[in-house]
Amino acid sequence: MRCSRPATVDGLGWTALFLAGACAAPRPAGPRAPTALPALAGDGADAAVTSALGGADAGATPLTATGQLVTRYRGRFAGNEDDHDAYQTLDLAVRQPGVWSATVMAGAALDLDGRDDAEDADFFSLMDTYEHSLEGQLYHAYVDVETTPLGLLRLGRQPIYETPVTLLLDGVRAETPPMGEAHSRLGAYAGVGEHPYESSSDGDTVLGAFGSTAPWTGASLRADWMHLEDLRLGVDHEDDLLGLALRQDRYDQRTSSSLEARFTTLGTDGRDLRLLGQHVDLEQQYSLQFSLYKLLHTQHELAAPLDPFSSSLLELFPYYQLALSGSKDWELLSLLGGADVRRVAHDDDVGEFNRDFERYFLTGSLPLPVVVSLTGELWHATGADIGTWGASLAREFPEGLEADVGSQYALFEYDDVSGEERQDVRTYYVDLRWTQAAASRWTLRYAFEANDFDDYQEVRLDWAWSF
């Protein structure tokens, strides 16, 4: 089953998908009580469904379902041009405990005002590459078999986040349960690589294996091998990636700390290095975080999971990026400050999507009846030294209503819809959130953006229902 760029489907089929709900919406944090599936009409219907899906009798644990349905409208305006779209998303999990579980994440997008590339050039996006105004996406759909001795047996379209680069594949994944005092595990996966918005999966193969262990208390060590094949624009890409990750965690009743190092290599060439760390002190109410990323070698066109952008953004030259931040809370004041520094290894390699910059920031918040937050920033970049500000006012009202109004600034901002990089961006926004009930939430956002090229406005209305 493949829907990343669906073939022509009759309008009724995609309309049904759109109305039923279908793009991946994250579930709210924390556990949610399962909802039993409604009984089907007719004697023995429950038993028939249970037998067909789980192979258990009518006395088995009943099926449960949880999920979230999100409906979204998005309107964008610039000068005399405007664009209006609607999105429906569904995240659904169904389980028969001890037998099987299934998860589906899907979406549909509807262009409300039709497609005219000449008139809507400012709002062109990947969805405009399709032939129809209503299009669907199947993000994942997989089944976990719980009746095997394996720790995990998963079949179907599935994402894998623990690997050095995130994967989406149509295939099978198997892992052993933790073994021994070191909680060692082995796992493997194989299938067809799935790349959203690609029209064909021909030549896209994914193979991989990993092993993990806990060499000492609080530590975890993981090694990965990934084999990726990808056919794009008539060129075969075949890459082998090796990854090694070591993490150390420490907890007590008052503090928690973690330190992690990740390294990957392509063949015999080191690809990148990442260091991450954090420390939280609940008693003293402060936290510290840092991250360092270094790209070791120039990245040319590779298999899509490793490099989905080089065909349009060209080569990515070596650079490093360092981020430091810390926060401290008092009874009447909260402070958050930090720095982001990025350096391209060689001055001649600085380009539109790979720049040198420094950003230093400090935000103070006062928990008054209206929460007031003020931010000061310093930006240093090629040809630009800018001091700027940001501010927000937030308040909670009765009946589940929250409001937030403010302004923020970015020297560089990447628009993931148009694929453009904007500079010198000042944004003013108003957010309203209404929790209608424990499972229902409305969000309205208006934003006005002024940048070095144009003025841009956006209106977004979301409704999320959790069940």
**CATH code: domain of residue 443:** 2.40.160
Query: Which position has the higher pLDDT, 456 or 54?
Result: 456
Tell me, yes or no, whether 411 lies in a domain. Answer: yes
Mean pLDDT of 99-106: 96
Domain count, the chain: 1
Tell me, yes or no, whether 437 lies in a domain. Answer: yes
Tokens coding 64: 């449960």
Tell me, yes or no, whether 89 lies in a domain. Answer: no
Query: Which position has the higher pLDDT, 296 or 354?
Result: 296
Tell me, yes or no, whether 94 lies in a domain. Answer: no
46 by DSSP, 3-state: which? helix
Q: Does residue 462 surpass a pLDDT of 70?
A: yes
Predicted confidence (pLDDT) per residue in 203-240, tens digit: 689 999 999 999 999 999 999 999 998 876 556 778 89
Tell me, yes or no, whether 277 lies in a domain. Answer: no
For the residues of 354-392, what is the DSSP string, one character each? B--EEEEEEEEEEESSSEEEEEEEEEEETTEEEEEEEEE
- pLDDT at residue 286, as a whole number: 97
15 by DSSP, 3-state: which? helix
Q: Does residue 115 surpass a pLDDT of 90?
A: no
Q: How far apart are CA 239 and CA 223, in angstroms?
A: 17
Tell me, yes or no, whether 194 lies in a domain. Answer: no
Helix, strand, coil percentages, rounded to 5, for the chain: 10, 60, 30
Residues contacting 223, CB < 8 A, separation 6+: 210, 211, 212, 242, 243, 244
- pLDDT at residue 300, as a whole number: 78
93 by DSSP, 3-state: which? strand
Residues contacting 39, CB < 8 A, separation 6+: 45, 46
Q: Does residue 319 surpass a pLDDT of 90?
A: yes
Predicted confidence (pLDDT) per residue in 266-278, tens digit: 988 899 999 999 9
Give the helix ranges, DSSP H, for 4-142: 11-20, 45-54
Q: How far apart are CA 415 and CA 126, in angstroms?
A: 12
Tokens coding 271: 């690809």
Phi, psi of 49, rounded to the nearest 5 degrees = -65, -45
Q: How many CA atoms lie within 13 A of 442 on its CB side?
A: 10
High-pLDDT (> 70) share of the chain, %: 76
Say if residue 402 is exposed, middle or buried (CB neighbours under 10 Å; 0-12, 13-18, 19+). Answer: middle
Tell me, yes or no, whether 265 lies in a domain. Answer: no
In which domain, by residue range, is 386 found?
A: 320-328+335-467
* CA-based nearest residue to 22, from 114, 119, 108: 108
| Radius of gyration (C-alpha) of the chain in whole angstroms | 25
Residues contacting 400, CB < 8 A, separation 6+: 434, 435, 436
Task: Record the pTM.
Answer: 0.76
Average model confidence (pLDDT) for the chain? 82
Q: How many CA atoms lie within 13 A of 15 on its CB side?
A: 3
Q: How far apart are CA 224 and CA 358, in angstroms?
A: 34
Left, alpha or beta for 91 (phi > 0: left; psi -120 to 50: alpha)? beta
Q: Does residue 457 surpass a pLDDT of 70?
A: yes
* CA-based nearest residue to 260, from 242, 277, 272: 277
- pLDDT at residue 41, as a whole number: 37
Mean pLDDT of 156-161: 95
Q: Does residue 24 surpass a pLDDT of 50?
A: no
186 by DSSP, 3-state: which? strand
Tell me, yes or no, whether 359 lies in a domain. Answer: yes
